[in-house]
A and B are shown apart, each in its own frame.
Chain A
């Protein structure tokens, strides 16, 4: 990193908000004051492993050459954008013909999360399929309870991704037409772990191949491995300029803090996007990149590296840990240190934990109230999505109304519109983002529907 004194304001290491001023430190003192940050919590600490980490995709191509597996490729038809990961490796992010692999926590608890994502895709005429033939990754339960094992996790991974590969058949389209886009951070980390274990263990491949054979989920007798495992936040990142073109609400006055999700960037760090144009490449690029491009002030805070406190089982049965951690290590720091208007995340468990666990802070007389949204929800909001019909902000326990007021959104009027709209829904006149007949691709309820294009 260059000498801080020699850098212009636009080159600063982090966003600090409009009123931020440099401390009157000389170059040497400034360096020693911040050196611990660079040495300890920057991505550089992970770079120490660089020489010892192999790219799992090399093993994948070898296995395909040996005829043991088949790779589901990201093709030109998926209009990929190439990005750089931690070690400077290339990753291909498909931008269209996407198969939505949903998140149970998002769909069950924060439905504005997937809805905003699909709405953004509609705005940009992105082709996608959202269907019923998919299960959860099962990894939340696994990490929380220990019920499950590497074989079950790997088999669920390959079953879901096989379905993504063949799903287009229902529309009379070829295999591999759609490419899976993973919504959940837990799934994203878990699937990447499973891909790595599968590539390195012939025994695991053999066991899982037998199971998938019973399910009819092999391709030419081989297990199907995705060339890239792609998280929705990566898609949003590479589409950020396109999204920003559609922004209709000025958000330059918004101070945003980012909570990066552990299973997104700590679990398989070598596969995570870092971008020199996003905070000098010193933070995970996703979420921060879209918020910067939309024009918000991204504010750094000292506990950005901490987890949210979700804990998988803790949010169910060790709630004192979860809420204490969420409030004291994340929300209160973002409010008091960064004076944040919003905390932005990109994972199911984090958004749930940080959003839901604020109300209880009243119990010790020090209440906190910080809106918590997913990056795609915020993006949809400032691109003109309805805050209740699309962003579904009513499911959020945190105070999103204050954020909307700061953005100039008359939330009372929008809420009244939504309450009126519920009458239409009750009468069977609800609106949908895509043709509902497409959501069943086989099995009970399936009816062939032509390709919607």
Chain B
């Protein structure tokens, strides 16, 4: 068997993985890698790699996906820019973020932590993979950014989670009543997990703005960005009115 035959077999059964793809400019690849490297956590999460594979051996996602934390570490360690870009198209989203890899790595690497730097960068560059992958997550993002809560009772519905079975609650009663029957007063809510003070939400908006989170959101989901912007404006107005009322009461 010759090398030519082997190449033909690969092409026949697997195909050329680069066929139909547009080459990415070297400058773009370098820019993406620089962004990953620029994060202050990069040197903390990547210390070296002997390819021992302990991380992949213990990785839950490696059981089910074409994903290997060892590969992620190797790509970054060897500065394989094309490979990094390729992994950012799909593989990095397979990671379950359990950090088992980090707990086990003899070098003290955190492949899971490195994946987060790559995910952040994929979003910053508005990569199509990030847009596709995050679409089902928009409800969570809307809830979180506008209220400060990530999950709420009204998000758990039979339609949203049909595979969780027929009963959201084993006691048949309206959601609002069941929530009021929880003897913790902050939990008498349906649209947020707990009652969040308006002042608290407004403080959180400042954090989103100051840390560039809203810009990231805009890059992957401009419509959601607009919706959230409107909600933030409304809540800020509401809070400003309350502050004015307080001033009037004290004067």
* Chain A residues in the interface with B (C-beta under 8 A): 45-46, 48-49, 52, 102-109, 111, 114-115, 118-119, 130-136, 138, 140-152, 155-156, 159, 163, 189, 197, 200-201, 203-204, 210-211, 214-215, 217, 262-263, 265-267, 269, 305-307, 309-314, 316-319, 321, 323-325, 329, 356-357, 359-360, 388-390, 392-397, 415, 418-419, 421-422, 425-426, 430-434, 436, 439-440, 442-445
Are A325 and B186 touching (Cβ within 8 A)? Answer: no
Residue among A45, A148, A311, A360 with most chain B CB within 10 A: A148
With a cutoff of 8 Å between Cβ atoms, the chain B residues found around residue A312 in the complex are 96-97
- The reply to whether A132 and B183 contact each other, CB–CB distance below 8 Å, is no
Name 14 extra pairs, CB < 8 A, besides A118-B184, A148-B211, A321-B61.
A104-B194, A115-B184, A134-B196, A140-B140, A146-B216, A147-B213, A149-B216, A266-B102, A325-B64, A359-B165, A360-B164, A388-B171, A421-B181, A430-B181
* Minimum distance in angstroms from B176 CB to a CB of chain A: 10
Could you mark each residue 205-241 of chain B with 1 if its beta carbon is under 8 Å from any beta carbon of chain A, else 0?
0111011110011001000000000000000000100
Is B93 touching A266 in the complex (CB atoms < 8 A)? Answer: no
What A residues does B106 contact at CB under 8 A?
Answer: 48-49
Q: Which residues on B sit within 8 Å (CB–CB) of A392?
A: 182
- Contact, CB under 8 Å: A203 / B40: yes
* Contact, CB under 8 Å: A360 / B41: no
- Closest chain-A Cβ to B165's Cβ sits at a distance in Å of 3
The closest CB in chain A to the CB of B93 belongs to A313
Instruction: Report the number of A-B residue pairs with Cβ-Cβ less than 8 Å.
Output: 291
Q: Are the C-beta atoms of A266 and B103 separated by less than 8 Å? A: yes
A sample of 25 inter-chain contacts (CB < 8 A) reads: A52-B108, A103-B193, A114-B184, A115-B183, A132-B194, A146-B130, A146-B216, A147-B123, A148-B120, A152-B211, A152-B213, A159-B204, A197-B44, A204-B40, A211-B206, A262-B99, A266-B98, A267-B99, A309-B96, A316-B137, A321-B96, A393-B170, A419-B171, A425-B180, A439-B186
Using A147-B141, A156-B207, A397-B164 as known contacts, say yes or no to A135 and B44 having CB atoms under 8 A apart: no
A119 CA / B183 CA spacing, docked (Å): 9
Is the C-beta of B195 less than 8 angstroms from some C-beta in chain A? yes
Contact of A211 among B148, B170, B181, B207 (CB under 8 A): B207
Question: B100 an interface residue at 8 Å Cβ cutoff?
Answer: yes
B184 contacts A313, C-beta separation under 8 Å: no
- Contact in complex: B194, A102 (CB < 8 Å): yes
Q: Are A317 and B136 in contact (CB under 8 A)?
A: yes
> Which residues of A lie under 8 Å from residue B179 when comparing CB positions?
111
Task: Tell me the B residues contacting A by CB distance below 8 Å.
Answer: 39-41, 44, 58, 60-61, 63-65, 93-94, 96-100, 102-104, 106, 108, 116, 119-120, 122-123, 130, 133-134, 136-137, 140-141, 144, 148-153, 155-156, 161, 163-171, 173, 177-187, 192-201, 203-204, 206-208, 210-213, 216-217, 220, 239, 242
B140-A108 in contact (CB<8A): no
A118 to B194: give the CA distance in the assembly, Å.
15
Q: Are B150 and A269 in contact (CB under 8 A)?
A: no
Nearest chain B residue, comparing its CB with the CB of A435: B185
Q: Which residues of A contact B204 (CB under 8 A)?
A: 135, 156, 159
The chain B residue with its CB closest to the CB of A117 is B184
Whole-angstrom CA separation of A114 from B185 in the bound complex: 12
A186 to chain B, nearest CB (A): 9
B61 to nearest A CB, angstroms? 7
Q: Are A159 and B207 in contact (CB under 8 A)?
A: yes
Known interface pairs A267-B102, A392-B182. Does A135 touch B40 (Cβ–Cβ under 8 Å)? no
| Cβ contacts under 8 Å, B168 to chain A | 395
- Of A200, A324, A432, chain B has the most CB atoms within 10 Å of the CB of A432
Q: State whether A436 touches B185 (Cβ < 8 A).
A: yes
**A360 partner residues in chain B, CB cutoff 8 A:** 163-165
**How far apart are the CA atoms of A431 and B185 in the complex, in Å?**
9
Q: Could you tell me the distance between the alpha carbons of A133 and B152 in the complex, rounded to whole angstroms?
A: 17
Q: Compute how far the CA of A144 lies from the CA of B39 in the bound complex, rounded to whole angstroms.
A: 19
CB atoms of A131 and B149 under 8 A apart: no
Contacts of B208 in A (CB 8 A): 152
Would you give the shortest CB distance from B90 to chain A, in whole angstroms? 12
A401 CB to closest chain B CB (Å) equals: 8
Q: Give A183 Cβ to nearest chain B Cβ, in Å.
A: 11
Q: How far is the CB of B16 from chain A (nearest CB, A)?
A: 28
Q: Is the Cβ of A132 less than 8 Å from the Cβ of B186?
A: yes
